[in-house]
Structure 1
Amino acid sequence: MALIIAGTHSGVGKTTVTLALLAALVRRGLCVQSFKVGPDYIDPMFHTQITGRPCRNLDPVLTSEAYVTRCFASQAQGVDAVLVEGVMGLFDGDSQGRASTAHLAHLLQLPVLLVVDCARMAQSVAAMVHGYCSFDPQLQFAGVVLNRVGSERHRQLLEAALEPLGLPILGVLYRHEQIQLPSRHLGLVPTEELPALLQLTDQLAHLAETHFDWAQLMPLLQAAPLASQTREPAGVLPKIWQKGGPIIAVARDPAFSFYYADNLELLAELGAEVQFWSPLQDRELPVGTQGLYFGGGFPEMFASVLAENQAALAQVRQAIQAAMPVYAECGGLMYLSQSITTFEGDTYKLVGALPTQTCMGARLTLGYRLATTAQDSVLGQAGQPIQGHEFHRSTQNPDATQPLYQFADGRQEGWQLGKLTASYVHLHWGATPELPAHFLRVCQRFAKLC
């Protein structure tokens, strides 16, 4: 069995509850595998920091239902406990309800632990919980966690209201004991920027140890993957190179931290040698680099430091001029542009490989994206269907004159210049390993020309 943590709505406290449970389980000496529903990058960073194991994103829109079930079954093997953090409200997903917490609960046959924000209500909690439990009678509910409870009297009123429903109360968190997780314009502040993370983890573990019903929780958390699934790896392509695969320099530091664990592992599974480097600190690319991979992140928060590292900018610029294959998403796209203008209005010159400037703004661009590649790229031939996700508060001027993607609504996006492929769209390669395989073959051909 495993639990999936759901909320009545966004901001209800799902992440705090999940992290507290993970921290307490690890403090007990258990090996814990966590998962996150949806495309989010930052929550999984916290999971991974606490458990010491890569958190896996479960998103049937970005990948497929088959991939999600295979990934879950494979990664849940050989551990002591399994916990899945949901996304938004219980039933919130794409326009068809896919990739919602409820969708994943059905798909993986998991009981739901519902987190309820009890501030500013008492007996009404029963109507809310009853509504969530009855909206989809096929869902199995393990219990509820009452969050932001004001006092002992408030708790008693809530418990009395819920008693007729017969749903166990597995945790009670009080308003004055709330742990604040720092956030900014795209969600939580990533773990690499939190020097007090160890202290925060201890606080979360103590919160869970003292405020949850562990006698009822532990049997629900103990790992038991889907019986119908095997332990086959999530990837479906054989290793291309047993040795001597291309060296891929992956930008990873506080400015570039948005990577799905499955993507990085797929590169290695296919035979690539993954080398991490920091555009913030390193003055040179890794020795022998044959391809560059820039993920998303927060380059706007570190724009001045990125701009000051002229040696790194020159190295990337020279690599692109030499036709080294480059794949960049969102933050990587911003780094490769002419400049970034921050929220404060300061402008910093960066790589300059793309004929566009990046400007931060208040408007949030968010959502799943279905597109086809408009041109041949390092990911494959033109006409390749792409399912991705956008999440950013920046725009580029001018728009791409050599676009990478063609969307169904006629919009074009991204850049395809020679062997440089860059876009705001984030991709999860789990169900499409042919994309990184093509990228690696292009990198190998570049190596032979050098």
Structure 2
Amino acid sequence: MTVIIAGERSGVGKTTITLSILAYLKHHNFDVQSFKVGPDYIDPMFHEYVTQKPCRNLDPILTSEDYVTSCFKRHISGSQLGVIEGVMGLFDGIPRGWKSTEFNSDFASTAYIAESLNLPIILVIDCSRLSGSVAAIAHGYCTINPRLKFAGVILNRVGSDRHLDLLKAALKPLDLPILGVLRRQDNITIPDRHLGLVPTQELSNLDILLNRLTELAANCFDWSQLLPLLAAETVTPEPPEIPVKTPPVKIAIARDVAFSFYYADNLDLLQELGAELIWWSPLTQTIPEPVDGLYFGGGFPEVFAESLSQNQPAIQQVRSLIKSGIPTYAECGGLMYLCDQIIDFNQQAWSMVGILPTTAIMEKRLTLGYYQGKVLRQTPLLSPGDTVCGHQFHHSHLTEEPPNPIYDISRYHSLQQTHPEGWNPLPNVHCSYLHLHWGSQTTIPQRFLKSCRHNY
């Protein structure tokens, strides 16, 4: 059937519980496909590390409602089991309209995805500061939208046997199955920092953590009830709307601990369109030439700025390739790498590629949210008049405004308040803080590859 692991709010333990379920299933040799609601990059890295299969993002804002359905059907097909991790609290989404008669604030929320895909929800409740009130929470969540289906609850951070007895007694009248009970776990923590969890590539003890999560799952979940809920239904996936393949082009993808934010669907689209992906590390390598295009994803260049700066052969090579006309796409962390400098949280300056005449400075203020952009200039991916929707998530700002911005950009629901964004210092360069998912915008990778072919 496949279920959605949802929280009554952020911080209740959705990710830990999802990972423990995935780790247990993988330990028992199940073929499981995972999904993540929303635009997040880091949680899907943990999913993929456990399942050894790319986790797929389900985000109707970055893509479309139809794409979410087709993506789910396409990737659940052929898998034994499926697990979807929700985002934030169950009903936390984006307002769809601002008039009183049409206001609805749960668009793209976990509840919205559950209803769209007609899947049951397992609600995770943090019980650390409540007992009898758990019934009111569970009842409210299960009844506010009668179209939603609830498979049961998982009680997290239970303090003692007495505490559990009180919780069970309170929930009994609701006839809502308790599918798992987790006690407070002081020895299971996933390190985090300024953009969320520390990515998997940086965790040397991750296998030890997953072994603990596997053991936790074996003892804390009612698998006789849970396992049947995870069984993936046989579905006929809709054929992806992929154009005819183009002649092969080589795209160098920067991928290491400094650059790791890539949607799996974007990479798939490039390959399906005929690209050969060349992986390389700006920290330790140079690009294995010849290549026809450069793709720099987001990540944590500020954390590894010293090492990036010390790899001068890579910096000089990237600068030379871009100036020679190689089409280049850089998002967020990739944009920072192409700046003159990065100034880290310790106020130390590190020289970078220098294609963008500006400096990226780290700060406490967080820029976060969905944005819409109207394209003002021709780039290797977009044309004037195009509109895109993307996501920003960064603690840096640039010392200079782009003289010829790519976008006139605005908050997702504040179209009247716009500002310039995105750098196009050379005709072959597209640099922006805006993270784009290409799933429902296949013209983007098509144009990118066309630009690369024209560079032959």
TM-score (norm. length: structure 2): 0.95
The aligned residue for residue 214 of structure 2 is: 205
Give the SS at the match of 2:87: coil
Please state if 1:237 is matched with 2:243.
yes
Q: CA deviation at 1:177?
A: 5.3
Q: CA deviation at 1:288?
A: 1.3
The letter of the residue matching 2:243 is L
The aligned residue for residue 2 of structure 1 is: 2
Q: In 1, are the aligned partners of 2:242 and 2:273 still within 8 Å (CA)? A: no
The letter of the residue matching 1:191 is T
Please state if 1:84 is matched with 2:92.
no
The letter of the residue matching 2:161 is E
User: In structure 1, what is the Cα distance between the partners aligned to 2:324 and 2:83?
Assistant: 46
Give the SS at the match of 2:316: helix
2:302 corresponds, among 280, 300, 303, to 300
User: In structure 2, what is the Cα distance between the partners aligned to 1:232 and 1:110?
Assistant: 18
The aligned residue for residue 54 of structure 2 is: 54
The aligned residue for residue 286 of structure 1 is: 288
Identity %: 53
The aligned residue for residue 221 of structure 1 is: 230
Please state if 1:401 is matched with 2:403.
yes
Please state if 1:330 is matched with 2:332.
yes
The aligned residue for residue 147 of structure 1 is: 156
Please state if 1:276 is matched with 2:279.
yes
Q: In 2, are the aligned partners of 1:86 and 1:101 still within 8 Å (CA)? A: yes
User: In structure 1, what is the Cα distance between the partners aligned to 2:276 and 2:294?
Assistant: 12
The aligned residue for residue 411 of structure 1 is: 419
Q: CA deviation at 1:323?
A: 1.4
The letter of the residue matching 2:390 is G
User: In structure 2, what is the Cα distance between the partners aligned to 1:236 and 1:290?
Assistant: 21
1:247 corresponds, among 231, 245, 250, to 250
The aligned residue for residue 72 of structure 2 is: 72
The letter of the residue matching 2:451 is V
The aligned residue for residue 430 of structure 1 is: 439
The letter of the residue matching 2:197 is L
The letter of the residue matching 2:174 is L
Q: Deviations over 1:126-154 (max 9, x none)?
A: 11111111111111000000001111110
The aligned residue for residue 365 of structure 2 is: 363
Give the SS at the match of 2:455: helix
1:384 corresponds, among 383, 386, 399, to 386
User: In structure 1, what is the Cα distance between the partners aligned to 2:227 and 2:280?
Assistant: 40
Q: In 2, are the aligned partners of 1:237 and 1:434 still within 8 Å (CA)? A: no
Q: CA deviation at 1:77?
A: 1.0
The aligned residue for residue 373 of structure 1 is: 375
Q: Deviations over 1:280-305 (max 9, x none)?
A: 000x2122111100000000000000
Greater CA drift, 407-416 or 162-171? 407-416
The aligned residue for residue 99 of structure 2 is: none
Q: In 2, are the aligned partners of 1:341 and 1:348 still within 8 Å (CA)? A: yes
The aligned residue for residue 45 of structure 2 is: 45
The letter of the residue matching 1:396 is L
Q: CA deviation at 1:16?
A: 0.4
User: In structure 1, what is the Cα distance between the partners aligned to 2:341 and 2:173?
Assistant: 60
Q: CA deviation at 1:178?
A: 5.8
Q: In 1, are the aligned partners of 2:242 and 2:272 still within 8 Å (CA)? A: no
User: In structure 1, what is the Cα distance between the partners aligned to 2:353 and 2:316?
Assistant: 7
Q: Deviations over 1:327-361 (max 9, x none)?
A: 00000000000101111111101001001100001
Q: CA deviation at 1:236?
A: 2.8
Structure 2 gaps of 5+ residues are 97-105, 410-414
Structure 1 gaps of 5+ residues are none
Closer, same or farther: CA 235–301 of 1 in aligned 2, 3 Å: farther
Q: CA deviation at 1:246?
A: 1.3
Q: In 1, are the aligned partners of 2:62 and 2:390 still within 8 Å (CA)? A: yes
Closer, same or farther: CA 17–260 of 1 in aligned 2, 3 Å: same
The aligned residue for residue 34 of structure 2 is: 34
Q: In 2, are the aligned partners of 1:248 and 1:290 still within 8 Å (CA)? A: yes
The aligned residue for residue 420 of structure 1 is: 429
Q: CA deviation at 1:232?
A: 3.7
Closer, same or farther: CA 375–362 of 1 in aligned 2, 3 Å: same
User: In structure 1, what is the Cα distance between the partners aligned to 2:40 and 2:232?
Assistant: 24
Greater CA drift, 401-410 or 320-329? 401-410
The aligned residue for residue 313 of structure 1 is: 315
Give the SS at the match of 1:293: strand
User: In structure 1, what is the Cα distance between the partners aligned to 2:349 and 2:75?
Assistant: 44
Q: CA deviation at 1:401?
A: 1.2
The letter of the residue matching 2:195 is L
Q: In 2, are the aligned partners of 1:67 and 1:234 still within 8 Å (CA)? A: no
Q: In 2, are the aligned partners of 1:94 and 1:368 still within 8 Å (CA)? A: no
The aligned residue for residue 25 of structure 1 is: 25
Q: Deviations over 1:136-177 (max 9, x none)?
A: 111100000000111111011001001101100000010145
Greater CA drift, 130-139 or 14-23? 130-139
User: In structure 1, what is the Cα distance between the partners aligned to 2:304 and 2:201?
Assistant: 13
The letter of the residue matching 2:433 is Y
Q: In 1, are the aligned partners of 2:14 and 2:85 still within 8 Å (CA)? A: yes
User: In structure 1, what is the Cα distance between the partners aligned to 2:445 and 2:34?
Assistant: 25
2:147 corresponds, among 138, 148, 162, to 138
The letter of the residue matching 1:338 is D
The aligned residue for residue 101 of structure 2 is: none
User: In structure 2, what is the Cα distance between the partners aligned to 1:32 and 1:238?
Assistant: 30
User: In structure 1, what is the Cα distance between the partners aligned to 2:169 and 2:453?
Assistant: 66
The letter of the residue matching 2:376 is A
Q: CA deviation at 1:233?
A: 4.3
Q: CA deviation at 1:384?
A: 1.0
Q: CA deviation at 1:234?
A: 3.6
Q: In 2, are the aligned partners of 1:71 and 1:233 still within 8 Å (CA)? A: no
Give the SS at the match of 2:141: helix
User: In structure 2, what is the Cα distance between the partners aligned to 1:315 and 1:426?
Assistant: 25
Give the SS at the match of 1:25: helix
User: In structure 2, what is the Cα distance between the partners aligned to 1:294 and 1:308?
Assistant: 18
User: In structure 2, what is the Cα distance between the partners aligned to 1:167 and 1:234?
Assistant: 38
